[in-house]
Amino acid sequence: MEPWIPITFAAAFLQNLRSAMQKHLKGVMGTTGATFVRFGFGVPFALTFVLGLHLIMGYEIPRPNPAFFAWTVLGGVAQIAGTFLLVHLFSFRNFAVGTAYSRTEPAQAALFGLLFLGERVTTGTLAAIAVSVFGVMMISVARVPLTWQAIFVSTISRTALIGLASGAMFGISAVAYRAASIALGGPNFMMQAAVTLAFVILFQTVLMGAWMLWRDRAEIARIGRAWKPSLVVGAAGACASFGWFMAMTLEQAAVVKALAQVEMIFTFASSVFFFRERINLLETLGCVMIVAGILLLLVLG
């Protein structure tokens, strides 16, 4: 088994864990604060990854170049924009449809990988991406009353466009992070991923920190009062991101993100086994399609 596969599974599990913990913070702080903690409190852990690989493993710290800086800035801004658009969807009554469209990230990552890096994916990979994306979209709208008229209207709705834009931003960020890591040129995928993560997370922390100082200083105080759970979120988020960056250094972003749809299975399992929520037929079919897409990716990709 290629190393990027178990790394992706681990990253998806850690991201699901981080998201679950992040939801608890919404009770004590706003959306901006809950988003910031994944970056700000992840900085110490990201720096630890770099120092650990350097001091313990003996790997040299690569010297960043202009291309690296350009890709990290693009990726960092795109990720923040994607997160903002995704959160903005929740202000709409029919946000589930928009959220479903945001899950087209792997397909859009394949497009941006071709445009930015000239990377092509196989027909089998495209088929796997299509199957898994459709499965995720089925789960996203499984509890929304749908008619043929509603489905048609939803495809041209404002929420659909926002969802697609969110998926595009996440797709761009994934491709940009891969390009940044590759631009370092060594010494190996772990150190390249660690250095990329450290720069990105520092940039995002400074950017969001400056925004809060300018527009919402009260949020900073709320974050300070909840520093203990925020530190746990930061640790889980940094570990998950390190996994994503390693996987995307080894494999195309679109392929990694397609396999990462397994996160929905983890989320679904948590809902069923921990929160005792019932599932309906559409959700079950969506899970089956995600699994089928993943199997197609591993066999045909």
Residue type, position 169, single letter: M
Rounded-to-integer distance, Cα 259 and Cα 293, Å: 8
Confidence (pLDDT) at 60: 96
Winning range, highest mean pLDDT, from 81-90, 122-131, 239-248: 239-248
Question: Which is more confident, 23 or 56?
Answer: 56
Q: State the average pLDDT over residues 125-137.
A: 86
Confidence (pLDDT) at 190: 97
Instruction: Using the structure block, give the residue that is written with the tokens 């959700």.
Output: 283
CB 191 within 8 A of CB 53: yes
Q: 13-22, 37-46, 48-57, 251-260: which range is least confident on average?
A: 13-22
Confidence (pLDDT) at 280: 76
Question: Which is more confident, 270 or 229?
Answer: 229
Q: State the average pLDDT over residues 98-123.
A: 86
User: Quick one: what percent of the chain has pLDDT higher than 90?
Assistant: 46
Side-chain-side CA neighbours of 266 within 13 Å: the count stands at 18
Structure tokens at 131: 């199957």
- SS3 assignment, position 217: helix
Confidence (pLDDT) at 148: 56
Q: 175-179, 201-205, 223-227: which range is least confident on average?
A: 223-227
Q: DSSP 3-state helix, strand, coil percentages of the chain (rounded to 5)?
A: 80, 0, 20
Structure tokens at 54: 């350097």
How many CB atoms neighbour CB 145 within 10 A? 6
Q: Is the pLDDT of residue 154 over 60?
A: no
Confidence (pLDDT) at 74: 97
Q: State the average pLDDT over residues 214-242.
A: 91
Confidence (pLDDT) at 133: 85
**Residues 39-86: pLDDT tens digits?**
899 999 999 999 999 999 999 999 999 999 999 999 999 998 888 887
**Residues 180-199: pLDDT tens digits?**
999 999 899 999 999 999 99
Rounded-to-integer distance, Cα 38 and Cα 120, Å: 32
Rounded-to-integer distance, Cα 234 and Cα 50, Å: 16
Average pLDDT of the chain?
86
Where are the chain's structural domains? 4-125+147-250
Instruction: Using the structure block, give the residue that is written with the tokens 């941006």.
Output: 112
Confidence (pLDDT) at 153: 54
Confidence (pLDDT) at 155: 56
Q: 35-44, 146-155, 163-172, 242-251: which range is least confident on average?
A: 146-155
CB 109 within 8 A of CB 179: no
Q: Is the pLDDT of residue 151 over 60?
A: no
Q: State the average pLDDT over residues 250-261.
A: 92
Confidence (pLDDT) at 49: 97
Rounded-to-integer distance, Cα 287 and Cα 283, Å: 6
Q: Is the pLDDT of residue 92 over 80?
A: no
Write down the pTM of the prediction: 0.87
Confidence (pLDDT) at 299: 80
Instruction: Using the structure block, give the residue that is written with the tokens 């001091």.
Output: 55
Rounded-to-integer distance, Cα 90 and Cα 88, Å: 5
DSSP state at residue 28 = T
Q: pLDDT-based confidence at 261, cuts 50/70/90?
A: confident
CB 236 within 8 A of CB 21: yes
